[in-house]
Chain A
Amino acid sequence: MSGDAALERLKREGRIVVVGASLAGLRAAETLREKGFSGSLTMIGDEPHEPYDRPPLSKQVLLGKATADRTALPRRLDIDAKWRLGVPAAGLDMKARRVRLADGDEVEYDRLLIATGVRARPWPKPEEGSLDGVFVLRTRDDGAALERALAAGPGRVLVIGAGFTGSEIASACRERGLAVTVAERGDAPLVGALGGVVGAVAAEMHRENGVDLRTGIMVTALEGDSSGRVRAAHLSDGTTLEAEVVVVSLGAQRNTEWLTGSGLGAGPRGIACDAGCRAFDIWGIVTDDIYVAGDVARSPHALFGYQFLSLEHWGNAVAQAETAAHNMLSESAERRPHVWVPAFWSSQFGVNIKSVGVPSMGTEIVITQGSRAERRFVGVYGYQGRVIGAVTFDQCRWLDFYEQQIEQTAPFPPPYSTVDRRPEGNRPLDADFPDPSIPTHGPTITLSGYSPADRRMKFTPAHN
C-alpha cells in the first residue's frame, strides 16, 4: 500500500487516542476533525471534567469574580469523541499500540497524542501537605477549594513560592483584603523567570500592596493543630508564622510517570520530541505514531540554538497541539515544525505582565522604554550579543516589535533610540538570574538538552 493510500485510510477509519483532556488535547482533537479525520477519536483524562481553562483559576476565580466550574473551554466544533474521563492512563505498550488505563481497560491506537501536562508540585512532606488548610493550585477543584478558603476570611494566608502563580495568589488575597505572607527562597519574586532586575520591581509591587514578602527564606515545616488543621509554618530564619491557609506554589511536575518502562523518551523534564512533535524513544530515535503537545512536551527550537524547551504556556499548548494534529495526518514532506516564539502573560497587583522569547536565557537586560520606577517598562534581554527575550509591565502593545527582534536575532544592546527612552535605560545591566547551581522552585521555562553542535547533556537549572 502506498503512503498516500495508508494516510487516506488513517484519515477515514483510523483510531486516534489523545491522552490528556485539557487545552492541548482539545485543540488537537478539534484540529484533527477540521483536517478531515473521520475515524474514531478517544479522549482520555484523569479529571472527571471536560476540558477547562486554567488562567482564570489564579485570577478571576480567586477574586470570586468567576466560579471554577464556569471555566470550560469553548468548543470550536463538535469533535465527536469517546470520552474516558476520570480515569488516568497507566501505561503504554508501544509495540502493540495500546494505552492501558488505571481501571485495567486498554485502548488501541494507530496514532497517539500525549498531552498529559503538568501537575502542581506538592509540599515535599506528605503528612504536612495533607493538613486541612494546605492547598496547591493547578486544577479546577484546587481553584474552587482555595476560593472557598479565601472567602471564609482567614486571618492570614501564607503563600510558599513567589513565581507567577504564587504572586497572582498573593495579589488576589490583597484584593480581597486578606493578610498574606509570601515566602520565597530566591532573592525576589519572579526571579527564576525574569531575573533579579525585574524581580526587584515585582518585590516593590508586593510590598506596596501590603504583602508581607519574605525573600531568601525557606519554609521548613508546616504545623497542624490537634484537629489536623494547619496553624503555623516554621521558617528557616528560626521564626514561626501563624497562618490559617497555606498555598504551596512551588512550580509544576510533568505527568510522565505513567510512561515509565514504556520505552518512550519520557522523564521528569517531559517527553522529548522533534520539532514536528513526534516523540523520541529512549534511544533518541523518533517514533512515527506517537506525538506530544503542551506542557509535557520538550522540543528543540531552531531560534534558541536547538535547545530543548519545555514551555508551560497557554499559547504554546494551542500552537503545538495544532502542529501535532496537522503532522499526524500529513506525509513527511507536508509536516510543519513547531517554531512558536514563547510568550506568556500574568496579571497581578493591577499590572499586566507579558513576555516573549526566553528571558531566562538572557544574561543582560536593558530597559528600552518606560521606567522601572513607574512600573511601566519594556525590558529586553540579551544573550551573546543578540536579543533573546523581552518583558513588558503595562506596555504590552510594544511586544510585537520585540518578538520580531527576537525572530530576527537583532543585536543586543539595541542600537536604536525609541520614542520613550529614559536615562536609566541606556545601560545594559546584569539581568541577575540566580546561580543555576542553587536550586529554587524553578523558572517557568527550563532549558536543557543537546544541540547538534554539542551533543553532551548540559546542566539544567534545577527543576527537580
Chain B
Amino acid sequence: MKHYVIKRLLATLPLLLGISFLCFVFINLIPSDPAEVALRVRQTPIITEGAIAQMRQELGLDQPFMVRYVRWLWDCLHFDFGISYTNPTRTVLGEIARCLPATLKLAGLSPVFVIGLSLPIGFLSAVYQDSWFDRIMRGAVFATTAMPAYWVGLLLIWLVSIKMDLLPTSGHGGFKHLILPAFTVALTYISTYIRLIRNNMLENMREDYVLYANARGLKQRSIFVRHILKNSLQSCITAIGMSIPQLIAGTIVVENVFAWPGIGKLCITSIFNRDYPVIQAYVLMMGVLFVFFNLAFDIVQYAADPRLRQERD
C-alpha cells in the first residue's frame, strides 16, 4: 500500500512539470502582445511604441522565453505567481485567494442539488420504468443536457427572480444569492447522474441476487434500497470524485451570468485581457486539482477494493 502511494505520488511530478510547461507555452502562443493589451486595458489614451517598450520591460517580457519559464516555475514553487498585468497593484495569489472562496461555495452547494435531485429521481425512474414519471424525467434530462448554462441561467433569473420574485437576480451576498447559480451549475450534472443511476439500477435489477432476494421474500423496499441502489452507486461515487475539480473549473459561464465574483470570472476576464500570470496560475491550479483528485480517488479505490490490490501486488 505504502509503496503504491509513493509510486503514484512520484509519478505525478513529471506530469505536473509537463502541465506547467504546456500551459506556459500555449499561453505564450496567443498572438496578442500582452504589454500592448495591458496598456489598452489600463486605458492609456494614446498608445505609443515607446510606451509598449517600457511596458514590456516592466512586465519582464523582454527576456527570452526559457528564462521566463524557469523563473516563473521557480517562483511558483515558492507560491509566488507574480503580479497581474492589468491590475499591477494586485498579486496573482491574492486574486486567487480572493476569488476561490466564492467558487468553492458554488462548487460546495451544487453537489447537494446534484445528489438531492438525481438520487431520488434516478431511483424512481428505475423503479417505475416506463411510467409517466420516467418518461417526463427522460425528456427533462435530454432537454437540460442540451440547454447551454448561459441560457438556463437567464431563464431561471427571469422565472424565479422576476416573475416569482423569490430570489435576487445576481451578485454575491447571502445564501439566497447562491441558490440560482448553484442550481444552474448543478443542472448538467443532475441530468448525467439521473441517467447513470437509472441505468445502473436497471442493470442490477436483472442480476441473480435480486431474483434470490425476491425468492427469499424480502420486502421490496429493502431489495431496492439495500441491495440494488447500494450496488448501483459504486460507479457514481467514482464519477463524483472526478466531478469535484470539474465543478470548480466549470463555473466560468455561470459566474459571469450571475455576477458571481469567483475564480471562473477571474479567469475569463484574464483571458480577454491577456493577463498571462493569472491565466497561467489558473491553468496550473486546475491541472494540480485534477491530478490530485484522480490520485486520491485511485488510492481510495485501491484501499477499498481487495481485487485491485492483488492484481497490482
The yes or no verdict on A and B being binding partners is no
Q: Give residues in B with beta carbon < 8 Å to A.
A: none
